[in-house]
Structure 1
Amino acid sequence: MAGSKRAITSLNALFIGVSFIFIASGLVVSSAGVLLNDMGASKTQIGLITSFFFIGAITCTIVSHRLISKVGHMRAYAIFTALFAISALLHDMSNNLIFWAILRFMLGFCYYSIVLIVESWLNEKIPNSVRSRVLGFYEIVFYSTFAIGAVIMSMDLSTTKVFLIGTISIILGSIPLNFLKIKSPKIPKAISISLPRIYNIAPLALATSIIAGLTMNGFFSMASLFIITQGYTPAQAGIFIIIGMCGGFMAHTIFGTISDKFGRKLAIILASSIALFACLGFISVNPDIIAQYIIVFFLGFGIFVLYALALARANDIVTDKNAYVEVVRALLFSYLIGSFLSTIIIGFLINQFGFTAFIYYYIVLLAFLIIFAIFQKNVPKEQEVAFTRHSGHSVIFDELNNDNSK
Structure 2
Amino acid sequence: MSSSIRMIRSMLPLFFGMSLLFVGNGLVISSCGVKLKEMGVGELEIGAINTCFFIGALISTIGAHRIVSKVGHIRSFAIFSAVFGVAAMFHGFSQNLYFWALLRALLGFCYYGLLMVIESWLNAKTATFIRSRVIAFYEGVFYFSFSAGILILLFKLDTFEIFIISAAFIMLSSIPLNLIRIKEPKIPKKESVSIPKIFSIVPLALVGSVIAGVLINGFFSMASLFVMLQGQGAKEVSIFMTTAMVGGFFAQISIGSLSDKFGRRPAIMGCAIISLISAVLFLVTTGSSLTQYILSFFLGSGFFCLYGLSLARANDMLVDRTHSIEVGRALLFSYCTGSLISPLLMGASMKFFGAMGFIYVYILLLTILIAFAMTQKTVPMHLRKPYEEHPMHNMGEMSALNSSKS
TM-score relative to the length of structure 2: 0.97
- Deviation digits for residues 247-296 of structure 1 (CA, Å, limit 9, x no counterpart): 00011011011110011101000000000010111112232111000111
Whether the 8 Å CA contact 2:191–2:326 is kept in 1: the answer is yes
Q: Which amino acid aligns with 1:312?
A: A
Q: Which amino acid aligns with 1:355?
A: A
Q: In the alignment, what sits opposite 1:194?
A: 194
For 1:404 and 1:356, the matched residues in 2 are separated by 38
Q: In the alignment, what sits opposite 1:231?
A: 231
Structure 2 gap segments, 5+ residues each: none
Q: In the alignment, what sits opposite 1:158?
A: 158
Whether the 8 Å CA contact 2:24–2:166 is kept in 1: the answer is yes
Q: In the alignment, what sits opposite 2:86?
A: 86
Q: In the alignment, what sits opposite 1:98?
A: 98
Whether the 8 Å CA contact 2:315–2:404 is kept in 1: the answer is no
Whether the 8 Å CA contact 1:191–1:326 is kept in 2: the answer is yes
For 2:49 and 2:95, the matched residues in 1 are separated by 12
- Deviation digits for residues 215-263 of structure 1 (CA, Å, limit 9, x no counterpart): 0111111111100110011101100000000000011011011110011
Q: In the alignment, what sits opposite 2:382?
A: 382
- Comparing 127-136 with 19-28, greater Cα deviation is found at 127-136
Q: Which amino acid aligns with 1:77?
A: F
The 5 Å alignment of 1:13-32 reads 13-32=13-32
The CA deviation at 1:186 is 1.1
The CA deviation at 1:70 is 2.1
For 2:307 and 2:60, the matched residues in 1 are separated by 19
For 2:302 and 2:346, the matched residues in 1 are separated by 19
Q: Which amino acid aligns with 1:176?
A: P
Q: In the alignment, what sits opposite 1:392?
A: 392
- Deviation digits for residues 105-158 of structure 1 (CA, Å, limit 9, x no counterpart): 010010011001100100111111211111100000000000011001232311
Whether the 8 Å CA contact 1:325–1:399 is kept in 2: the answer is no
User: Relative to 1, partners in 2 of residues 1:90 and 1:250: Cα closer, same or farther, differing over 3 Å?
Assistant: same
Q: In the alignment, what sits opposite 2:335?
A: 335
For 1:399 and 1:111, the matched residues in 2 are separated by 14
Whether the 8 Å CA contact 1:272–1:369 is kept in 2: the answer is yes
User: Relative to 1, partners in 2 of residues 1:240 and 1:80: Cα closer, same or farther, differing over 3 Å?
Assistant: same
User: Relative to 1, partners in 2 of residues 1:254 and 1:396: Cα closer, same or farther, differing over 3 Å?
Assistant: farther
Q: In the alignment, what sits opposite 1:362?
A: 362
Computed over aligned residues only, the root mean square deviation of the Cα atoms, in angstroms, reads 1.6
Whether the 8 Å CA contact 2:279–2:359 is kept in 1: the answer is yes
User: Relative to 1, partners in 2 of residues 1:59 and 1:399: Cα closer, same or farther, differing over 3 Å?
Assistant: closer
Query: Partner of 1:31: helix, strand, or coil?
Result: helix
The CA deviation at 1:373 is 0.5
Whether the 8 Å CA contact 2:336–2:395 is kept in 1: the answer is no
The 5 Å alignment of 1:3-402 reads 3-395=3-395, 398=398, 400-401=400-401
The CA deviation at 1:364 is 0.5
- Comparing 172-181 with 321-330, greater Cα deviation is found at 321-330
Provide runs of 4+ in structure 1 moved above 3 Å: 319-322, 395-405
Whether the 8 Å CA contact 1:186–1:404 is kept in 2: the answer is no
User: Relative to 1, partners in 2 of residues 1:403 and 1:160: Cα closer, same or farther, differing over 3 Å?
Assistant: closer
Q: Which amino acid aligns with 1:117?
A: V
Aligned residue pairs, count: 405
- Deviation digits for residues 43-90 of structure 1 (CA, Å, limit 9, x no counterpart): 100000000101111111112223212221111111111111111111
Whether the 8 Å CA contact 1:213–1:337 is kept in 2: the answer is yes
Query: Partner of 1:347: helix, strand, or coil?
Result: helix
Query: Partner of 1:58: helix, strand, or coil?
Result: helix
For 2:399 and 2:158, the matched residues in 1 are separated by 41
Query: Partner of 1:175: helix, strand, or coil?
Result: helix
Q: Which amino acid aligns with 1:195?
A: I
TM-score relative to the length of structure 1: 0.97
Whether the 8 Å CA contact 1:22–1:146 is kept in 2: the answer is yes
For 2:349 and 2:59, the matched residues in 1 are separated by 26
Q: Which amino acid aligns with 2:26?
A: G
Whether the 8 Å CA contact 2:260–2:384 is kept in 1: the answer is yes
The CA deviation at 1:39 is 1.4
